Amino acid sequence: MHWFNWWWSHEVVHGGKGPLLLALIAFVVTFLVTRIITRLIRAGIGPFGNINIDGVHLHHSTPGVVMVIGGGLTAVGAPTLSVWAYLAAFAVGSGSALVLDEFAMIFRLRDVYWSEEGQMSIGAATLAAACLCLAVVGLSPASVPGLSGAVLWIRYALMVFLALNLTAVAVVALKGKYPTAVVGVFVAPVAWIAAIRLARPTSLWARLRYDEHRRSLARRRLDRFDRRWGPIQRRWADLIGGRPTRLDHPPEEN
């Protein structure tokens, strides 16, 4: 409780992270409510249904895009920590959840909401929520705990550290580990460890730098990873988003 009180006072109240915290809460609540409603529609339960305008199904990513744009433009001109800043944070958080809930559909440019491919949206939303959490609790790529009025050489050291970390993040991305690269921006050791490990066999790094023996090792490592963590990832996606439609059934409209 003492740690929470210190965090609330230092990071949220005096650190100006109230809007960021509101954006996180709005994101998580909107995403969960949206998934509950779409699953009820899929099951034919309750008063909910698809919205159609002139025969065209209105996907919820459409109002989400409007909210993100409106909230972003409002935040640009809003005074710091004003009511407008909080309204903008709410709009961006909720709008981002609506957009990322249909991320797979936007990425594939077709309705894959209830398919295996559609579970990409769960991963994108989970990653976004994790990054927001890291930012809210005080982790920043450019933060130095306990440092105020830093001397010049410490600032130079910080610049070198950031450059090295961004290089490691770039290597991780080239190795095809995109979620790890995003987390590595906030938690440097994650990027450093991932940068020295084998790349995914289909990544640009593997295609340009690995011979057949190296790619074979990468494929075996990926197979071990999928056997160990694949079922957990699928259970998480099924829990949040619902089980995908089998391929031998027509896809259901969300």
- Is residue 172 one of the residues assigned to a domain? no
- Is residue 229 one of the residues assigned to a domain? no
56-88 confidence digits (pLDDT tens): 888 999 999 999 999 999 999 888 888 999 999
Q: Total structural domains in the chain?
A: 1
Among candidates 240, 167, 177, which has minimal Cα distance to 204? Answer: 177
- Block means of pLDDT (10 residues each) for the chain, length 254 residues? 68 78 94 92 84 83 95 90 92 95 89 84 86 75 51 66 84 86 82 90 88 89 84 80 64 48
The structure tokens listed for 121 are 């949206």
Domain coverage including residue 6: 2-138
| pTM, entire model | 0.71
Q: Tell me how crowded residue 133 is: count the other CB atoms within 10 A of its CB.
A: 14
Question: Can you give the pLDDT at residue 153?
Answer: 65
- Is residue 89 one of the residues assigned to a domain? yes
Please name the amino acid found at residue 12: V
- Is residue 8 one of the residues assigned to a domain? yes
- Is residue 13 one of the residues assigned to a domain? yes
- Is residue 178 one of the residues assigned to a domain? no
- Is residue 173 one of the residues assigned to a domain? no
Question: Can you give the pLDDT at residue 151?
Answer: 54
Measure the CA–CA gap between 254 and 240, rounded to whole angstroms. 15
- Is residue 59 one of the residues assigned to a domain? yes
